[in-house]
Amino acid sequence: MFCPKHPEQQATARFLVQFGRKTRKRFSHYEQAERFLDGLRYEVDQGTFDYRDYLSTKPLSFSNLSKQYLIKKKTKVRKGTFSHIKNYISVADSFFGNTNVKNIQFAQLEDFTDSLKVGNKTKSCYLSYIHDFFTWLYNRKEIQCIPDFPKIYFELGYRKTVDKETQREIIEEVYRISSHVNPKIGLAIKFLSTYISIRPNELRNLKEKDIDHIQGFLFIPHPKEKRPKLVPLIDDDIQLMKTFPPGLPDLYFFRHDSKVKGCPAGSRFGVNIFYKWWKKACDNLGIVDVDLYGGTRHSSAVGLREFATPEEIRRATMHSTNKAFERYYMTSKEELQGVYQATRNCDTGVIRKGGVEKKITG
């Protein structure tokens, strides 16, 4: 490389470092090549050497591994869910690019989170899917540990609800304005108000084979909770379901007939059909700012406060976490009024309990 007696005379061409059979890298200067080789030896001593870190194809880059992750994920989740995952991972790929996944730690994840021009709830969704990606890497032994993730704090909003009498009026109006199009539209909204464990899209995806007319059950195979659930029908609805002509097992129960232009007979109801007719009924009745979810599932859960315990209501909604359930179950107006009345009575020096007044002294 150089002459020990004449150090000014040394090699000036390109230098090649070959370490083992798979690590090769060229340098323009001897000092750079020497430092690189020393670094490789140090990694071997520390037990952290991985030849893939130095391949020109960058197999451990976020971009390459995230593409593999999406290919695997596509076969394991529903089409709609995969669309969300692909969107979040693609945005992260634009940020991290060819960065080695081993070098992505808390600081890099925090920088990515700060770069997002979205609300905290959406930021939390991004981090949730990226965390799943890193968990997949860890299970495949691509990384030795999952990095720490930034904490994102947000509050879920509460939907506006209606009382049961108003809810019944809306359902009746839906029946009145939609029965000539398809009587199953009103039936669906009635079900959403009764069976508060079922979400609109789960109901829309219900097939004929998922209905047990004998025992009176609806089988939801792919709910949000990621475990199948059986929803028992009340007797009146079992008889009501039997009035509809049966279809082939793989036909969707909530399907169009020949009356709707542009929708082939037998095709599944569209994503927004229940919401559309719910809003039409609300507009006719002069009810504002009550969406389908709030007016059916949320309103029914709140209304159950008078008839069931919190644990019974939670079982009915089939929530798997307390945090999700808290959005449905709120302290009743009467309970709070009682506490506030007691506060007022304390201010006046009189407590009423069981119809008996007791004056506070001392």
Top-confidence residue, 312 or 195: 195
Q: Where are the domains of the chain?
A: 15-42, 62-139, 164-325
Of the pLDDT bands very low, low, confident and very high (cuts 50, 70, 90), residue 325 is very low
Crossing angle of helices 62-74 and 120-139, in 10° steps, is 90
Q: Pseudo-torsion of CA 68, 148, 78, 224, nearest 10°?
A: 170
Distance (Å, rounded) from C-alpha 107 to C-alpha 254? 49
| E strand map for the chain | 15-19, 23-27, 211-212, 217-220, 229-232, 350-353, 356-359
> pLDDT: is 55 or 15 the higher one?
15
Nearest to 254 by CA among 198, 183, 194, 197: 183
Instruction: State both tokens at 9.
Output: 């005379």
What's the chain's average pLDDT? 81
Kindly report the number of other CB atoms within 10 A of residue 339's CB atom.
9
Of the segments 160-169, 219-228, 304-313, which one has the largest average pLDDT value? 160-169
The mean pLDDT of 82-87, rounded to a whole number, is: 92
What is the mean pLDDT of the segment spanning 97-122? 92
Whether 182 contacts 255, CB under 8 Å: no
Q: What is the pLDDT of residues 88-98, one digit of tens each?
A: 999 999 999 98
Task: Give the residue, 197 or 67, on which the prediction is more confident.
Answer: 67
User: Residue 232: pLDDT above 90?
Assistant: no
Candidate ranges 9-13, 144-148, 262-266, 274-278; pick with highest mean pLDDT: 274-278
| Token pair for 15 | 């230098």
Give the fold, CATH level 3, of 164-325: hpI Integrase; Chain A (1.10.443)
3-state DSSP helix/strand/coil % of the chain, to nearest 5: 50, 10, 40
Using one digit for the tens of pLDDT, what is the confidence trace for 289-301? 899 988 888 787 7
- Spatial CA neighbour of 253 closest among 227, 233, 235: 233
- Other Cβ atoms less than 10 A from the Cβ of 7: the count is 8
pTM of the model: 0.57
